[in-house]
A and B are shown apart, each in its own frame.
Chain A
């Protein structure tokens, strides 16, 4: 009997509320809250981007303002010195440039050859898989570890010491994955009909690669190589591990000479600010030079990409 009455009551209740399925007032309030939350979230999320931009701006402002008065022609053209007023970074710039002279051809040669092999000759084979995994693992290895490899293999085993050659070869291995991956991407974008046309004219595979695939992929390959150079030019840890001497007053003139590079000099000057306060300004001025170099390199890469890259 009790159960019956409950059912009856429920039915009665349902009958009463049947006219108002939706409590408009409640729904309106909920909707308002959800829209408000959405707006707040948008502000909060976008503020993180603002934060990143502010930090970037602060960093640039800080570095540039500290370098003002120190970064002039005399600073770029004169030699290193212990006294901050006389110090210049001519030898340091030459060191960095010579380092690039080693890194650029070595990585391009190794990187492009590896990419050609993987894309043209070992499609989806076991070797392809092996090199692929290997490259992606290598790109995750911290740069200090490459420094240790360079120290052992190039520095001690091959007896290059802490020369430009040792530094350059170490750096080349470090940025190799970047060149390989970007060259692979570039080769992948070469359309099949170009290849087919070449084969149809009787060209062999190697001729097709040399005369059709590589020239077509060149802009992409160049972009990747320049970006890898800009990574190499700013990398510090492997060079420090190689044992680049603290103060070199001589400008290097051969690949077997000891050298110092822009990031290394920034490192030592930053460490020595404890002793001489003006070194902070010298470090800032060197950073500005380094950032300008990077800016130029990246601009060239972007120009090449936009100007020469054809779309098929």
Chain B
């Protein structure tokens, strides 16, 4: 007993060589330092894109950038980005035509028609589609979907915008389904049951009550899906080719913004050339597009969310 009493706490503490460091005070500072890596990443992204893109914008007149002629490797190169923007929007548009109706229908089914036990099984299976690497979808689009489509559309080229668009849509279905379903599930039960008690069928409840009530979440999921499609790289790089076509004809090969970045970094342009800097200009454009989409999605969910 007396031993315990005699222990001098300061004596033990003095053995610690780091005793002059106050751990409790240091830890939050160190953690903040580490946490700032994520902020540094964002700053890094913006800086690399802006700095290197500025070299490009200094050398290439704006009029040329908004022209439809893209020939970066020619002796007298021309950098019109319209073909890339057009390619991006054609493939993303096709993807949306696939993903929005299918994804939303699946969400309505899961949230309004299926029994909870069945939903528990089906939802994870659909989400498997989201876990498959995009390169696998690219392979699938190029080696399976394109030959299949060629039998239906005879003048389809081996590389085209249609096949990657469709496959990209399939890839995005889980995103639309899962986010829309979450939004529909957030509509309180009493509203759903009120409508059912008034004699509505399930379809009427879904179309006239639940979807309107969850519309902000649903639209936000569409916008996020568009952003995903615009930023998607490997599927379009593999299956839609690297021809810089300025056309809306989806049977033709086209190049997207992401495809251009991949094609060019794979060794065609040496560091310091305008071609190399054009990568960053396209990257900046892509970054701005996707960031805008994400901000719009966030704005929609925040502004139009109904509180129950």
Contact yes or no, B102 A51, CB < 8 A: yes
B: number of interface residues (CB 8 Å): 81
- What separation, in Å, do the CA atoms of A64 and B131 have in the docked complex? 17
Q: Which of B32, B133, B267 contacts A234 (CB 8 A)?
A: B133
- What separation, in Å, do the CA atoms of A142 and B290 have in the docked complex? 8
Contact yes or no, A45 B142, CB < 8 A: no
Q: Is B155 an interface residue (CB 8 A)?
A: no
- What separation, in Å, do the CA atoms of A270 and B206 have in the docked complex? 43
How distant is B205 from chain A, measured CB to nearest CB, in Å? 10
Closest to A58 in B: B144
Contact yes or no, A127 B32, CB < 8 A: yes
- What separation, in Å, do the CA atoms of A109 and B33 have in the docked complex? 12
- Contacts A48-B106, A144-B261 given; does A56 touch B28 at CB 8 Å: no
- What separation, in Å, do the CA atoms of A241 and B44 have in the docked complex? 16
- What separation, in Å, do the CA atoms of A52 and B178 have in the docked complex? 13
Q: Is B186 an interface residue (CB 8 A)?
A: no
For residues 91 through 135 of chain A, which have their beta carbon under 8 Å from a beta carbon of chain B?
A: 109-110, 113-114, 116-118, 121-122, 127, 130-131, 134-135
Contact yes or no, A290 B262, CB < 8 A: no
Residues of chain B within 8 A of A240, CB atoms compared: 262, 265-266
Residue among A62, A235, A240, A271 with max Cβ neighbours from chain B (10 Å): A240
Residues of chain A within 8 A of B224, CB atoms compared: 140
Q: Is B89 an interface residue (CB 8 A)?
A: no
- Count A-B pairs with CB separation below 8 Å: 240
For residues 156 through 204 of chain A, which have their beta carbon under 8 Å from a beta carbon of chain B?
A: 156, 173, 176-177, 180, 204
- What separation, in Å, do the CA atoms of A34 and B227 have in the docked complex? 37
Q: Is A206 an interface residue (CB 8 A)?
A: yes
Residue among A116, A148, A241 with max Cβ neighbours from chain B (10 Å): A148
Contact yes or no, A59 B294, CB < 8 A: no
Contact yes or no, A56 B125, CB < 8 A: yes
- What separation, in Å, do the CA atoms of A147 and B105 have in the docked complex? 35
- What separation, in Å, do the CA atoms of A22 and B259 have in the docked complex? 64
- Contacts A41-B203, A148-B48 given; does A143 touch B233 at CB 8 Å: yes
- Contacts A53-B125, A148-B49 given; does A241 touch B265 at CB 8 Å: yes
Residues of chain A within 8 A of B298, CB atoms compared: 136
Q: Is A310 an interface residue (CB 8 A)?
A: no
Contact yes or no, A56 B128, CB < 8 A: yes
Q: Which of A48, A55, A233, A284 contacts B129 (CB 8 A)?
A: A55
Q: Which of B34-42, B63-71, B244-252 contacts A (4 or more CB under 8 A)?
A: B34-42
Interface string of A137-153 (1 = CB under 8 A from B): 11011111111110111
- Contacts A148-B261, A206-B27 given; does A141 touch B35 at CB 8 Å: no
Q: Which of B35, B132, B271 contacts A59 (CB 8 A)?
A: B132
Q: Is B173 an interface residue (CB 8 A)?
A: yes
Contact yes or no, A37 B170, CB < 8 A: no
- What separation, in Å, do the CA atoms of A271 and B239 have in the docked complex? 9
Residues of chain A within 8 A of B267, CB atoms compared: 243
Q: Is A229 an interface residue (CB 8 A)?
A: no
Residues of chain B within 8 A of A131, CB atoms compared: 35, 38-39
For residues 32 through 60 of chain A, which have their beta carbon under 8 Å from a beta carbon of chain B?
A: 34-35, 37-38, 41-42, 44-46, 48-49, 51-53, 55-56, 58-59
Contact yes or no, A114 B140, CB < 8 A: no
| Apart from A134-B42, A180-B38, A236-B135: 11 A-B pairs, beta carbons within 8 A | A37-B201, A41-B113, A55-B129, A110-B37, A138-B38, A205-B24, A205-B27, A206-B27, A234-B135, A246-B266, A283-B139
